[in-house]
């Protein structure tokens, strides 16, 4: 239908183009017409729809019934980052968790549970690489490599992707609870792996936090070794000074200079300790590791970026495993991840600069205090060289010892805090072996398969309809050719034609014309309508010679010619039917008659005084048939000869109507010669068989040869697709059929 709507009327000489005939017989609204077009498409392509739906449904049914049952186990976790067990060490507890959004924190933890590192730990600990229920057929080959990291990259990634597809984490809205789901074809394995995921996730979380704290402690340990050496050196200097200056005991002169010197010395020690701590944080930030920076000096911005990075990496892995490298969304996600990594690096650099500024400020403060201390020391030296020098050495010893003790306490507290602050995850409900599978869902899958099959069938039907360049209704045919449709011959009428007992030329039983075998059928009424249309086409001069043509064979041209002849004969007219197909004659077979040795070919080539006509039907003595006769070598020249014109002129005086059956016009040129002699030319087009170019080519050939084309006979029409059937509904169709069955139609 879609292809016919795009037809044009091109190909005619200038000034002879036939404009499309507007269709004025349908008064329905445009919306009703569109609904009718949809219904006609569904009716026309119903077998395609049903076959496609059956295939899709069968595929879904086979897949569902053959699929292995899948079991799912669930672990319920409570994740509370704000929980503390620092035993009074509140000053060492991190402050970032107080300001962090709980929902984003829970989403971060969910991504960590689904991370590749946790998956690797579970695969190794549970031996999933050599478990057929998880690894499938490749499990035996993987068993020779006990650790996931020692496997080839492709095999390792395949196992990780399979694990990720089986693992789902769901955050219970408004709570700090997370559900960890794992699916497997083995019920016991699903429960075991779900519990292993929770266990390894908790262990990894604890280890990551503890190692971060230990890195800071390791750096502080190195600084403490330097402080210890300085303290020993200061003690040795003090002892040497006492020995050289004969100072015994630890008494000093009390004065303002000495007191100030003591104060500055104490402040200098604190500034130096503060500088060392800030320098430690600054050196850690210099590593550029976002995870270490976030654990040491966490900021809300950096934490949010890290969460986004984890989420994007998850999406990237999902897209990569599902669509491959060429998927556009994958490239967009990779670009987004690259930009986010750059932003994280910028934020880390920003934190580093902040720590550097703090360190520089602390160092500057220390330097300033040291400068003031040196000035006070010089003044004290001038006041009492021996006392001041003694005091300086003594305080240097005390300061080194005090700084060493302070850092020692902080180092021990850091180790304790690292462990206490890592245990904030609790298993509320461990996974249990499920009793029933969660997939496949047979009923829902079959229902979905049926629905999808019907939907796909409709899409296929409309796609086929869009590429179909044949006509199904007379409205379309008129819009394409610009010629009126004189009548529509129903498809059922042609199929239900009666059979005679006489064989035709090829040894098959041939049907009698419908007007003889089924005079009250709907098809017979259509032929009577064709007769009326021909008589009214030129009321001032009724056509005497009528030629029936078609584009190709099998369009029903001979059947139309035979029934049209019977129709005029039943009206009481003397009718001569001429078989003008001198190559493959078949008009005689329409009446159950054998091929004749005499006919048109012998009448035109031999000296016959009268045409060798025969009477094909006893009940219609006024109907005569001039068969084709033997096949001549030059049928086109014979039909277009002067002898043919003279013979036709003589026959016109003896008959009221002369109806010519012709060969297909696109196969041979014989029909053009007959069409030039005819008063009216009727083109036969078969529904669903005639192509656009073929019909337009025949129309153009006839019009260029000045043939008098009066219209088209639309043959083999599915009347359900016509507007007065498809749009009016089945009630009108039933009424029409009942009318014809009751015999109320007039012959």
Domain range for 563 is: 470-498+520-742
Cα 592 to chain centroid, rounded: 59
Spatial strand order of the sheet with 623-626 comes to: 485-490, 709-717, 680-686, 545-550, 657-661, 575-579, 623-626
- What is the per-residue pLDDT across 255-264, written as a single tens digit (0 to 9) for each? 566 677 788 8
Reported residue count of the chain is 747
- Between CA 516 and CA 498 the distance in angstroms is 9
Instruction: Provide the 10 A C-beta neighbour count for residue 50.
Output: 14
Q: How confident is the model at residue 145 (pLDDT cuts 50, 70, 90)?
A: very low
- Between CA 493 and CA 522 the distance in angstroms is 7
Specify the pairing of strand 177-184 against strand 167-171. Answer: antiparallel
Find all residues with CB under 8 Å of 493, minimum gap 6, and list them: 514, 518, 521, 522, 523, 524, 526
- Between CA 85 and CA 421 the distance in angstroms is 6
For residue 540, give the DSSP letter: T
Which among 108, 112, 106 is positioned nearest to 176, based on CA atoms?
A: 106
- What is the per-residue pLDDT across 624-654, written as a single tens digit (0 to 9) for each? 998 988 888 888 888 888 888 888 888 888 8
Which among 439, 431, 432 is positioned nearest to 70, based on CA atoms?
A: 439
- What is the per-residue pLDDT across 419-432, written as a single tens digit (0 to 9) for each? 555 567 888 899 89
SS3 40: helix
DSSP alpha helix (H) spans, 421-544: 442-467, 474-481, 491-495, 514-517, 522-537
More reliable by pLDDT, 593 or 214: 593
Upstream peptide bond of 403 is cis (omega within 30 degrees of 0): no
123 part of a folded domain: no
User: Is pLDDT at 180 greater than 90 in this prediction?
Assistant: yes
Instruction: Provide the 10 A C-beta neighbour count for residue 481.
Output: 25
User: Is pLDDT at 405 greater than 90 in this prediction?
Assistant: no
Specify the pairing of strand 425-429 against strand 71-79. Answer: antiparallel
pLDDT at residue 28, rounded to an integer: 38
212 part of a folded domain: no
Q: What is the mean pLDDT of residues 286-306?
A: 70
Indicate the number of domains in the chain.
1
Angle at Cα 190 formed by Cα 187 and Cα 194, nearest 5°? 150
Read off φ and ψ for residue 74, nearest 5 degrees: -130, 135
Which among 615, 627, 547 is positioned nearest to 584, based on CA atoms?
A: 627
Read off φ and ψ for residue 702, nearest 5 degrees: -65, -40
Average pLDDT, whole number, for the chain? 75
Cβ burial of 198 (10 Å; 0-12, 13-18, 19+) is buried
Q: What is the mean pLDDT of residues 115-126?
A: 89
Q: What is the mean pLDDT of residues 198-209?
A: 83
Q: What is the mean pLDDT of residues 335-357?
A: 76
Percent of the chain with pLDDT strictly greater than 70: 74
Return left, alpha or beta for 15; rule: phi > 0 is left, psi -120 to 50 is alpha, else beta.
left
Q: Are 509 and 501 in contact (CB under 8 A)?
A: yes
SS3 311: helix
Q: What is the mean pLDDT of residues 369-384?
A: 73
DSSP 575-621: EEEEE--SSS--TGGGGT-PPPSSSHHHHHHS--SS---B---TT-T
Q: How confident is the model at residue 659 (pLDDT cuts 50, 70, 90)?
A: very high
User: Is pLDDT at 336 greater than 70 in this prediction?
Assistant: yes
pLDDT at residue 96, rounded to an integer: 42
- Between CA 439 and CA 441 the distance in angstroms is 5
318 part of a folded domain: no
User: Is pLDDT at 157 greater than 70 in this prediction?
Assistant: yes
263 part of a folded domain: no
- Between CA 376 and CA 380 the distance in angstroms is 6
- What is the per-residue pLDDT across 547-595, written as a single tens digit (0 to 9) for each? 999 988 888 888 899 999 999 999 889 999 998 888 888 888 888 888 8
Q: What is the number of alpha carbons within 13 Å of residue 396 lying toward its C-beta?
A: 22
Which among 512, 600, 592, 520 is positioned nearest to 559, based on CA atoms?
A: 512
636 part of a folded domain: yes
User: Is pLDDT at 658 greater than 90 in this prediction?
Assistant: yes
737 part of a folded domain: yes
DSSP E strands, 83-172: 167-171
Domain containing 724 — which CATH number? 3.40.50.300
pLDDT at residue 16, rounded to an integer: 37
User: Is pLDDT at 179 greater than 90 in this prediction?
Assistant: yes
pLDDT at residue 217, rounded to an integer: 67
If you average pLDDT over each of 30-34, 265-269, 364-368, 624-628, which comes out highest?
624-628
pLDDT at residue 546, rounded to an integer: 92
361 part of a folded domain: no
Q: How confident is the model at residue 8 (pLDDT cuts 50, 70, 90)?
A: very low
User: Is pLDDT at 27 greater than 70 in this prediction?
Assistant: no
Q: How confident is the model at residue 55 (pLDDT cuts 50, 70, 90)?
A: very high
Q: How confident is the model at residue 229 (pLDDT cuts 50, 70, 90)?
A: confident
User: Is pLDDT at 82 greater than 70 in this prediction?
Assistant: no
pLDDT at residue 167, rounded to an integer: 92
- Between CA 451 and CA 93 the distance in angstroms is 59
Q: What is the mean pLDDT of residues 453-471?
A: 80
671 part of a folded domain: yes
Torsion on CA atoms 17, 22, 23, 28, rounded to nearest 10: 150
Q: How confident is the model at residue 94 (pLDDT cuts 50, 70, 90)?
A: very low
């Amino acid at each position: 239908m879609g292809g016919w709507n795009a037809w044009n009327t091109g190909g005619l000489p200038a000034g002879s183009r036939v404009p499309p005939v507007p269709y004025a017989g349908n008064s329905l609204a445009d919306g009703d017409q569109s609904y009718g077009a949809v219904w006609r498409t569904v009716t026309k392509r119903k077998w395609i729809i049903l076959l496609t739906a059956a295939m899709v449904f069968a595929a879904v049914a086979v897949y569902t019934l053959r699929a292995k049952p899948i079991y799912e186990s669930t672990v319920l976790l409570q994740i509370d980052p704000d929980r503390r067990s620092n035993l009074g060490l509140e000053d060492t507890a991190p402050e970032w968790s107080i300001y962090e959004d709980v929902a984003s924190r829970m989403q971060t933890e969910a991504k960590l549970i689904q991370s590749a590192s946790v998956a690797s730990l579970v695969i190794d600990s549970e031996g999933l690489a050599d478990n057929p229920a998880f690894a499938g057929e490749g499990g035996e080959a993987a068993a020779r490599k006990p650790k996931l990291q020692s496997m080839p990259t492709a095999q390792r990634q395949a196992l990780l992707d399979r694990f990720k597809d089986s693992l789902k984490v769901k955050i219970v809205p408004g709570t700090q609870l997370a559900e960890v789901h794992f699916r497997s074809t083995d019920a016991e394995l699903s429960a075991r792996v779900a519990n292993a995921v929770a266990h390894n996730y908790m262990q990894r979380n604890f280890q990551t936090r503890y190692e971060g704290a230990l890195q800071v402690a390791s750096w502080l340990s190195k600084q403490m070794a330097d402080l210890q050496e300085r303290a020993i050196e200061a003690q040795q200097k003090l002892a040497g000074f006492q020995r050289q200056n004969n100072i015994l005991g630890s008494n000093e002169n009390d004065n303002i200079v000495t007191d100030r010197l003591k104060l500055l010395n104490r402040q200098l020690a604190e500034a130096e300790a503060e500088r060392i701590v800030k320098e430690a944080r600054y050196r850690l930030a210099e590593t550029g590791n976002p995870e270490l920076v976030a654990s040491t000096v966490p900021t809300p911005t950096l934490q949010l970026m890290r969460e986004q990075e984890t989420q994007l990496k998850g999406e990237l892995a999902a897209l990569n495993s599902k669509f491959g490298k060429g998927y556009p969304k994958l490239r967009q996600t990779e670009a987004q991840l690259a930009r986010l990594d750059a932003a994280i690096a910028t934020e880390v650099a920003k934190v580093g600069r902040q720590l550097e500024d703090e360190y520089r400020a602390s160092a500057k403060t220390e330097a300033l205090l040291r400068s003031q201390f040196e000035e006070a020391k010089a003044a004290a030296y001038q006041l009492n060289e021996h006392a001041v020098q003694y005091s300086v050495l003594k305080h240097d010893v005390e300061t080194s010892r005090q700084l060493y003790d302070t850092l020692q306490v902080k180092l021990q507290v850091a180790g304790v805090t690292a462990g206490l602050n890592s245990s904030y995850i609790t298993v509320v409900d461990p996974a249990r072996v499920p009793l029933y599978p969660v997939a496949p869902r047979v009923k829902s899958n079959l229902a979905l398969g049926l629905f999808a099959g019907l939907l796909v069938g409709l899409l296929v039907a409309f796609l086929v309809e869009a590429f179909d360049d044949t006509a199904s209704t007379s409205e379309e045919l008129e819009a394409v050719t610009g010629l009126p449709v004189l009548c529509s011959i129903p498809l059922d009428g042609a199929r239900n034609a009666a059979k005679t007992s006489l064989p035709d030329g090829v040894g098959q039983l041939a049907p009698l014309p419908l007007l003889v075998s089924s005079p009250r059928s709907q098809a017979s009424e259509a032929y009577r309508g064709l007769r009326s249309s021909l008589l009214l086409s030129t009321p001032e001069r009724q056509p005497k010679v009528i030629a029936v043509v078609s584009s190709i064979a099998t369009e029903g041209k001979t059947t139309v010619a035979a029934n049209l002849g019977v129709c005029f004969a039943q009206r009481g007219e003397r009718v001569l039917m001429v078989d003008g197909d001198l190559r493959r004659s078949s008009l005689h077979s329409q009446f159950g008659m054998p091929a004749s040795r005499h006919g048109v070919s012998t009448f035109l080539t031999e000296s016959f005084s009268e045409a060798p006509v025969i009477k094909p039907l006893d009940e219609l003595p006024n109907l005569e048939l001039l068969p084709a006769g033997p096949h001549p070598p030059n049928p086109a020249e014979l039909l277009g000869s002067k002898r043919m014109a003279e013979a036709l002129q003589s026959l016109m005086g003896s008959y009221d109507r002369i109806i010519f059956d012709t060969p297909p016009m696109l196969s041979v040129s014989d029909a053009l010669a007959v069409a030039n002699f005819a008063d009216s030319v009727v083109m036969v087009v078969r529904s669903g068989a005639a192509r656009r170019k073929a019909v337009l080519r025949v129309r153009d050939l006839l019009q260029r040869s000045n043939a008098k084309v009066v219209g088209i006979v639309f043959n083999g029409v599915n009347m359900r697709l016509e507007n007065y059937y498809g749009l009016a509904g089945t009630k009108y169709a039933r009424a029409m059929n009942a009318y014809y069955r009751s015999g109320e139609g007039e012959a």
